[in-house]
Structure 1
Amino acid sequence: MVDVLGGRRLVTCDGAWVEAEAALQNKVVGLYFAAGRCAPSRDFTPLLCDFYAELVDEARPPAPFEVVFVSVDGSAQEMLAFMRELHGAWLALPFHDPYRHELRTRYRVTATPRLLILQPSGEVITDKGRRQIRERGPACFRNWAEAADIFQNFSGQSISNLLSENNGTGCCFYGCLRPLVLQQQNVLTAEKQAESPVIRR
């Protein structure tokens, strides 16, 4: 996310500050443009909250996914009230950061709510995140993760951890992404074998 949010600070739902680059590394990111005064935003936000909770809060290991709220509220007070009332435990761009307006222009956001799904590089996977969540629920995350190729920077050990820490029962992340994890593990194994010297006897 260096091209989009690199060098910026984000705020958590608890008011803590985090560096965007560290918080979003190797994750699929949902840029969520919404406003508390907007009825469709208030209608969709609880659904996004459930989606996020199932993928991140409740799954073990959690899915490599993060939401960054980009407020279209009229004031910092409205933004804070909206977050406290309906939002999940995700991140937000501070209201006083003028970059909010640049992002709206960059991604041509003319109506809310709008959920853009981005690769770690900042490239758009889909601008129809809201519709896909409504129609498919957490199952749509597998397509996003595959498009983002989020496992390309994982080590063999971290992938082994993903496979061993959860058997898949009741875990949406594991159920959706296990085939991708296995595929990447096979790629790493093949690469390691190709690099190993052949010992002739």
Structure 2
Amino acid sequence: MTNLSNIVEILAKQALGNSGQQNEQGGLGGILGSVLGQLGGNTSSANAQGGLGGILGSVLGQLGGTSEQPRSNTAGVSNGSAVLIAVLPLVLAWIQKQGGLQGALDKLRGQGISSQVDDWISTGPGDNAAVNPQQVQSLFDDAEIEQVAQETQVPKQDVYSAISSVLPQIIDSLTPQGEQTSKTEANADIQQVLNLVSGFLNR
């Protein structure tokens, strides 16, 4: 097993503002259920916006009041945690589009960030090396970025910043044994998380 579910769980808890409700339910499924369960009374507004990232953005945009910082105007929420989890399926789907983890690593190295990628895969101590939002910008479809930006009500640059924050954590969590990690296992875990998110949204 990779550690992908751990990073999803952390991001989901951040989006919930670490409120107590997710602790009543076990595991990643329960926590994602808490996040996505916020769809309840807001289905009409969420359904008006298309795509997985859009619905996640809509849901998590409603969670502004549960974050540490009080929000007086939910219409203008700029919720960092919401953006982080809204880009999560975007990043995972991008990895799949590259043919899986190995293809994504090759693509990233081709962007001139080989040293950062090596650091993310490394099992050594310390934080993951940072990557500049500009270095990941060309990797993602502009229309998808625009959609997430609109639905989380933040500038597109904030979406790229969120991707540059989440991407190192995702690659790190997918390679717990470094280069020895099974790419097949990592790809299966990516699909499992995407299925889990999609399953909640399709209920």
Higher strand share: 1
Higher-Rg structure is 1
Q: TM-score, with normalisation over the residues of structure 2?
A: 0.25
Query: Relative contact order (C-alpha < 8 Å, sep 6+): which is higher?
Result: 2
Q: TM-score, with normalisation over the residues of structure 1?
A: 0.25
